[in-house]
């Protein structure tokens, strides 16, 4: 005869939190944050680690304030440097995204084109883009255009594939209905196919933003004498840890801001979509 287990077996529950748990979580998070920052600051103050290599929260904050106040860093203000990087990103993104949307649309509508050249594009995509970056520098030189080139290919692939997918997934009956009503090919493109594909296209455009930023910074690492990425690398080589951290934080801040801008634009353009249930990305 089987004996009952000595302890009560409690069923495993999936990840569900009650509201008091939520408050507890928040408190824990804040505590952890404070503890980490405080121990960092203290460790540096007690000379447990080198300030030049690690810096400390207060030093970083101080540096940020002075940089944003217009401090001249290696010949320019940080705003000049950011401006240079931003210019590269903007031009590269504009060119890359336009080319990608146009080609993605064509490949989505013309089967022959797709069958012929998509495998080639896929093959090119499989080469890590960072490996191709030096090639751009070799061919286009140290200035603006090599960075634009790198940003271009970083942006191109993600926008291209998402655009093509969006166009391919357009319900063909949408197109039939319009054509039978008498719509010309151009009218059908503009009023039916593009709006139908827009959600996917916007996803591609959104994903392209962080890639573009990475591309610009990468280009500046390889060969540049100005820009936010250059600043980060120069700080590294000069053992300027505070500057390095400040640069990284600025980079993250800019990435986040641009991302939010894209989100807002996306929400406005897609008001017609049924609201999605729950969180779209969730770790817990």
Of 40-99, binders to another protein (CB under 8 A) are 53-54
CA dihedral for 181, 185, 187, 193, sign (positive or negative): positive
Of the candidate spans 65-73, 76-84, 101-109, 226-234, the one that interacts with another protein by CB under 8 A turns out to be 226-234
Give the pair of three-digit tokens for residue 271.
């008001």
Helix (H, G, I), strand (E, B) or coil at 271: coil
Instruction: Give all strands (DSSP E) within the chain, no chain letters.
Output: 72-73, 76-77
Residue of 14, 69, 75, 278 interacting with another protein (CB under 8 A)? 14
Rounded to 5°, angle at Cα 255 from 204 and 61: 170
Of the candidate spans 58-66, 88-96, 160-168, 239-247, the one that interacts with another protein by CB under 8 A turns out to be 239-247
Q: What does DSSP say about strands 72-73 and 76-77: parallel, antiparallel, or unpaired? A: antiparallel
Q: Is 236 in the site for another protein (CB under 8 A)?
A: yes
* Contact by Cβ (8 Å): 241, 52: yes
Radius of gyration in angstroms for the set of CA atoms belonging to the chain, rounded to a whole number: 25
Q: Is 124 in the site for another protein (CB under 8 A)?
A: no
Residue of 47, 131, 276, 277 interacting with another protein (CB under 8 A)? 131
Q: Is 117 in the site for another protein (CB under 8 A)?
A: yes
> What is the smallest separation between the CB atom of 77 and another protein, expressed in angstroms?
20
- Bridge partner list, 77: 72
Residue of 35, 42, 110, 187 interacting with another protein (CB under 8 A)? 187
CA distance 245 to 60: 7
Residue of 19, 20, 272, 278 interacting with another protein (CB under 8 A)? 272
Residue of 20, 69, 173, 186 interacting with another protein (CB under 8 A)? 173
* Contact by Cβ (8 Å): 149, 95: no
> What is the smallest separation between the CB atom of 266 and another protein, expressed in angstroms?
14
Q: Is 279 in the site for another protein (CB under 8 A)?
A: no
What's the farthest any 2 CA atoms get from each other in the chain? Answer: 86
Q: Is 233 in the site for another protein (CB under 8 A)?
A: yes
Q: Is 195 in the site for another protein (CB under 8 A)?
A: yes
> What is the smallest separation between the CB atom of 87 and another protein, expressed in angstroms?
19
Judged on CB neighbours under 10 Å (0-12, 13-18, 19+), 189 is middle
* Contact by Cβ (8 Å): 231, 78: yes
Please say which residue, 98 or 111, places its beta carbon nearer to another protein: 111
Q: Is 198 in the site for another protein (CB under 8 A)?
A: yes
> What is the smallest separation between the CB atom of 148 and another protein, expressed in angstroms?
17
- # residues contacting another protein (CB under 8 A): 84
> What is the smallest separation between the CB atom of 104 and another protein, expressed in angstroms?
18
Cβ count near 40 (within 10 Å): 17
Q: Is 181 in the site for another protein (CB under 8 A)?
A: yes
Of the candidate spans 61-69, 71-79, 97-105, 207-215, the one that interacts with another protein by CB under 8 A turns out to be 207-215
Q: Is 169 in the site for another protein (CB under 8 A)?
A: no
CA distance 81 to 100: 28
């Amino acid at each position: 005869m089987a004996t009952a287990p000595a302890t009560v077996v409690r069923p495993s529950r999936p990840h569900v939190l009650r509201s008091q748990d939520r408050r507890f979580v928040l408190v824990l998070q804040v505590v952890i944050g404070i503890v980490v920052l405080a121990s960092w600051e203290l460790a540096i103050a007690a000379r447990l680690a080198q300030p030049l290599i690690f810096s400390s929260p207060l030093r970083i904050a101080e540096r940020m304030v002075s940089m944003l106040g217009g401090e001249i860093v290696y010949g320019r203000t940080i705003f000049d440097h950011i401006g240079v990087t931003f210019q590269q990103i903007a031009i590269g993104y504009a060119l890359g995204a336009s080319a990608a949307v146009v080609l993605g649309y064509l490949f989505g509508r013309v089967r022959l084109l797709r069958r012929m050249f998509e495998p080639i594009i896929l093959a090119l995509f499989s080469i890590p883009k960072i490996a191709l970056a030096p090639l751009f520098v070799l061919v286009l030189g140290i200035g603006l255009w090599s960075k634009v080139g790198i940003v271009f290919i970083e942006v191109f692939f993600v926008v291209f594939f998402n655009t093509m997918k969006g166009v391919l997934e357009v319900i063909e009956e949408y197109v039939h209905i319009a054509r039978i009503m008498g719509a010309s090919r151009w009218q059908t493109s503009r009023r039916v196919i593009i709006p139908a594909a827009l959600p996917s296209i916007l996803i591609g455009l959104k994903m392209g933003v962080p890639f573009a930023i990475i591309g610009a910074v990468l280009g500046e690492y390889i060969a540049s004498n100005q820009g936010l990425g250059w600043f980060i690398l120069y700080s590294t080589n000069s053992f300027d840890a505070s500057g390095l951290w400040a640069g990284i934080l600025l980079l993250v801040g800019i990435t986040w801001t641009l991302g939010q801008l894209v989100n807002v634009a996306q929400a406005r353009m897609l008001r017609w979509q049924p609201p999605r249930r729950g969180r779209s990305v969730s770790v817990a």
